[in-house]
Amino acid sequence: MSTSCNPNVWQARMLDARVKSSAQIQGALVQKYFQECRTELETGDNSGLVNLRKMMTMNYNPQGHPFLRRVVVNLPGNVRLKGLLGLKGDFKRRPFVIMRLGIFSSVEDFRPERAWLMMLFEQSPFNVLVLENMTSGDFVADNNQFSFGGYDEGIQNLLLARMLRDSNEPLSKVVDSVHMFGVSLGGHGVLFSSLLSKYNSPANYPLIQSSLAFCPVVHLQETMQNLTQSGVKSAFVDLWSRRRLSGLDQKLPSLVQYESFSFLTKAISEVVRNYHGGLSYISNVKLPPGMKDGAEFWALNDFWKSYNDVQEPVMILATSQDPLVPFEMNSQNIANKKLKIGSKNVKVVELPQGYHCTLPVPYDWKALTTVFQSYVLSHSPGFHLKERNLTVDLSDDEWKGFFEGPVVTNFEVREPAKDQKFVRLEIKMTNGKKDDRSMNLSLPLSEFDFRFLNKDLTLSEKEMIVRWLNQNLRVSLMQNSAKASLKVTWPVAL
């Protein structure tokens, strides 16, 4: 990329104290980046079918990853929530990201959201907990009650943040700060938990330090009506929901019978009819003034009238083209101030490419990862990175005359063998005369931001090493009149 569009340049701007202090300024900077650098950031893959196919067929197996383990979180109301916990393997306090999945997604099957896990866990210095959506088949099977939407998931998010900051919890020993990340329907709960954090945080720190929401549901009732009353699209969604919620009729017996292509419509109406309040609501969860737990399902999920004076930042990224969670029905209402919010902490970044959270396909992967990484880092005041480096002297006779004029440097990471403790880089340099030179470097795995404890590397670990280096490694050429040297740097948690 050009210097002006290099992700590292924009990361430095995101981390600037003058920028990170304002959600509006920081969001405007991200919007500016994608607008000014669109010719370099956009991949050209903007077909709806291409976006869908590539998002659903990424080669990634999180369930078999040695750094990810299945967990079950027990919450009030006998609610069992399945998760996938990603830890770096050390005891350093790091930003901890809670990732809420979209509609019907479980930790056994979350294909549309796998890219975000790679970016947040494998390529960033964060620990991550992926949590199923309440509409997943596993949640239905594991719990006696069923619900969906931001009110219930927001309460769950708050209780989890409280758990992670409780010094009596072993996991709290590796938590520096808690950040929320929600996709689609999971984003609705992230938005509500950002409000709950205001009323439930201790005096000295916020339970939730920052929130990111991707193509989130903002208006639940209208979005659900759009999903179930839109002709051919609704028929497809109905078939999809019937397949993913195959056990729901055992919890809601009235679902045994329903008209053709009306399974989801009836399921929603039955949830609303049988709703008696938050599944995990307890009295020590403080709701905003004027809000009271009860049976009013749609009213509780329309919490925006209570969204006032929230300080912790919330960034929303949404695509203009979105057939499932229409932009004009949801995030645009915040962007154009049609939805009146009594806080300046929420900023919407509208992106013209992609379809409903498929951003890793139409946009540059590294640039996206850098934006997310920078956002979380900028709101993690207690966490710091240190630089590790390797410098190679290039003043030997074989390099004589090569460094006259500008030199372009690139590198390629070679996937290590399973029993290797080093990873090899092939570095290629091209000078102003178009002459090429290359060299190989080996870097020890023990110097990276993961602790590899197995005797042999698995395929998942080898792929993770390549992804992490492609995101975080910096190769620069230092020249003066006397000599030239190559400097390789990478960050690790302090």
pLDDT tens, residue by residue, 208-235? 999 999 999 999 999 999 988 878 778 8
Q: Where are the domains of the chain?
A: 3-378, 385-493
Beta-carbon contacts of residue 230 (< 8 Å; ≥ 6 apart) = none
Tell me: pLDDT of 246 over 90: no
Q: What is the mean pLDDT of the chain?
A: 92
pLDDT given for residue 481 in this prediction: 61
Q: Considering only the top CATH level, what class is 3-378?
A: alpha beta
* Token pair of 290 as six digits: 């004027």
Cα torsion for 217, 219, 223, 225, to the nearest 10°? 160
Highest mean pLDDT, choosing among 48-52, 150-154, 400-404: 150-154
pLDDT given for residue 130 in this prediction: 98
- The answer to whether 27 and 349 have CB atoms below 8 angstroms apart is yes
Nearest residue to 209 (alpha-carbon basis) of 87, 377, 331: 377
- The answer to whether 125 and 119 have CB atoms below 8 angstroms apart is no
pLDDT given for residue 482 in this prediction: 66
Q: What is the pLDDT of residues 325-360, one digit of tens each?
A: 999 999 999 999 999 998 999 999 999 999 998 999
Model confidence band, residue 253 (pLDDT cutoffs 50, 70, 90): confident
Q: What is the pLDDT of residues 264-317, one digit of tens each?
A: 888 889 899 999 999 999 999 999 999 999 999 999 999 999 999 999 999 999
* Token pair of 425 as six digits: 């880089």
* Separation CA 93–CA 90 (nearest Å): 9
Stretch 416-445: mean pLDDT, rounded? 91
- The answer to whether 490 and 473 have CB atoms below 8 angstroms apart is yes
One-letter identity of residue 255: L
Tell me: pLDDT of 121 over 90: yes
pLDDT given for residue 80 in this prediction: 96
Stretch 45-70: mean pLDDT, rounded? 90
